[in-house]
Amino acid sequence: MRAQIGTLIIATSVIQLANGFFGTLISLRVATAGFGAVLAGLVLSSYFAGFTLGAVRCGKIIERVGHIRGYAAFAGLVVGATAAMPLRPGPLSWFVLRAIVGFGCVGVFVTTESWLNAKAQPSERGRVFSLYMVGTFLALAVGQLLIARIEIEGAGPFNTIVTLFAVGLVMVSTTRAEPPLTVATEKLPYGLLMRTAPVAIVGCATSGLVSSAFYALAPAWMQDNGIKRETIALSMLAAVLGGLAFQVPVGRLSDRYDRRIVLAALGFGFAGAAIALVHLPRSWAVLLPAAALLGGFMSTLYPVCVADAHDRMPSNRVLAVSGRLILVSGLASVLGPLIGASIMARSGINGVFYFMAAAALLLALAAAGSSLATEAPRHLRRPFEILAPQPTPLAQNQLDSSDGRAQPG
C-alpha cells in the first residue's frame, strides 16, 4: 500500500514540476508576445477560470467514470491543450487552451487527493498528506529552475511540459493501487458559510487575488525590465521556498492562538513585504529574501482561513466547506491577473505591489476587528494543515473511529 501511495505522490509531484514551470513560462511568453494589457490579463487569468470551473464539475466526472479513467482524461486534456499552444499562438487560442489546462489540472489534483484520502489509514493520513504537500512545494520550486535551463522560445518548453505530464499519466495509469469508491458530497449554502466564517471567506478571496497577480505578473515585469532569466527563476524559487518554510511555524501559532490574530499578522506582514519590494534596491541580494518573505506570508493565508472556517462549522461538513472556500479562492484568482495587468499597464509593477498590499491590509483589519468583536472558537474540529488552494478530496472510504467524521486531507 505504501508503494502504491508513493507512486501517486511522485506522479503528482512530476505534474506539479511541469505546472510550476508552465505558469512562469506563460507569464514570460505573454510579455514578449505584445498582446496588450487586457488580452494579456485574460490569457493569464484563463487558467484560474478553467481551474475554478473544474473544481465545480470534475467531482461529477470522477463519480461517473472512476478515478483511473478520470485521471487519464484530465491529464489528456492538459497534454492536448499544451501541445496545441505553439501551433496556435494567438491570444484567443491561448485563452481557450489555458482554460482547458486549468480544468485538466484541477481534475488531476482532485483525483489524486481523493484517492490518497480514501486509501491512507486514519493513523497515517496526516503524514501522507504532509508528504504530498511537501512534494508539491518542492516540485513547484524545481519547476522555476527550469526557466533558467530551457530556452523559452519556440515549441521546446511546451514539449517539455507535455513530456512531464505524460510521465505522470503513465505512472498512475499503470499503478496497481485499487481506486476508491466515490460518494456524493454534502451541499452547503454560501450564505450560511458567510455568516458563520466571514473572515475566512474574505481571506480566501484575498489569497487568490494576490497570489494569482504575483505569480502571473512578476515574472513578466522582471523580463520586461531586462532582469536575467536566472534571477527571475531564483526569485520565483525563493517565493515558493518561503511558502514552504512558513507552513509549520505559522501552523503552530494558529493552533495555539486565535487564528484571526495570526491572519491579521500575516496580512500586515505581506503588506509590509510588498511595500518593501517597491522601495528596496532591486539587486538579487535584496530581491531574494524579500521574495521569500512575500511568498511565506502569501502562502499561509489560505490554510489559516480554511482552519478558521472549519473551527466554526460542524465536522460533518468538512468537504462542503473546503469546496466552497476553493471556489471563492478560484474566482478571486481569475480577477487577480486581470486587475493587476490593468494596473501594471498604467503604474508598472509598483502599482501591482501597492494593490496587493492594500488587499492584504484590508484583510488584516477585518481579521483584527473580528477578533476584538467576537470570541475565538476552540480548535477542536480542524487543526492547521499545509494546504494550497487546490480541490479537497471528494470521496473517502474510511472514517475516524473516535467521532465518525471524515478525516481532513
Could you tell me which residue, 73 or 318, shows the higher pLDDT? 73
Comparing 141-145, 268-272, 394-398, which segment has the lowest mean pLDDT? 394-398
DSSP state string for 92-105: HHHHHHHHHHHHHH
pLDDT band at 130 (very low <50, low <70, confident <90, very high): low
Q: Facing residues of 399 across strands?
A: 406
Q: In the 8-state DSSP scheme, what is residue 124?
A: T
Where do the structural domains in the chain lie, given as residue ranges? 1-184, 186-391
Residue 386: the pLDDT is: 57
Start-to-end CA span in the chain (Å): 18
Copy the grid coordinates of residue 347.
Answer: 503604474
Residue 131 has pLDDT above 60, yes or no: yes
CA distance 1 to 119: 8
Helix (H, G, I), strand (E, B) or coil at 406: strand
* Domain 186-391 belongs in CATH node 3.40.50.2000: no
Average pLDDT over residues 66-73: 85
Could you tell me which residue, 343 or 34, shows the higher pLDDT? 343
Chain mean position to CA 118 = 22
CA distance 357 to 273: 8
Of 246-250, 309-313, 390-394, 402-406, highest mean pLDDT: 246-250
CA distance 346 to 343: 5
Q: State in words which class domain 1-184 has.
A: mainly alpha
**Fold agreement between 1-184 and 186-391:** yes
Of 183-197, 220-234, 250-264, highest mean pLDDT: 250-264
CA distance 278 to 276: 5
Residue 390: the pLDDT is: 52
Residue 359: the pLDDT is: 96
Whether residue 41 contacts residue 163, with contact meaning beta carbons closer than 8 Å, is answered with no
Write down the pTM of the prediction: 0.76
Residue 102: the pLDDT is: 92
CA distance 331 to 261: 25
Residue 221 has pLDDT above 50, yes or no: yes
Over its C-alpha atoms, the chain yields an Rg (Å, rounded) of 20
Cα 382 to Cα 18, 240, 257, 316, 406: the distances in Å are 31, 25, 14, 11, 11
pLDDT band at 298 (very low <50, low <70, confident <90, very high): very high
CA distance 408 to 311: 13
Residue 50 has pLDDT above 70, yes or no: yes
Copy the grid coordinates of residue 143.
Answer: 519547476
Comparing 118-132, 167-181, 305-319, 378-392, which segment has the lowest mean pLDDT? 378-392
Residue type, 130: S
Residue 76: half-sphere exposure toward Cβ, Cα within 13 Å:
7
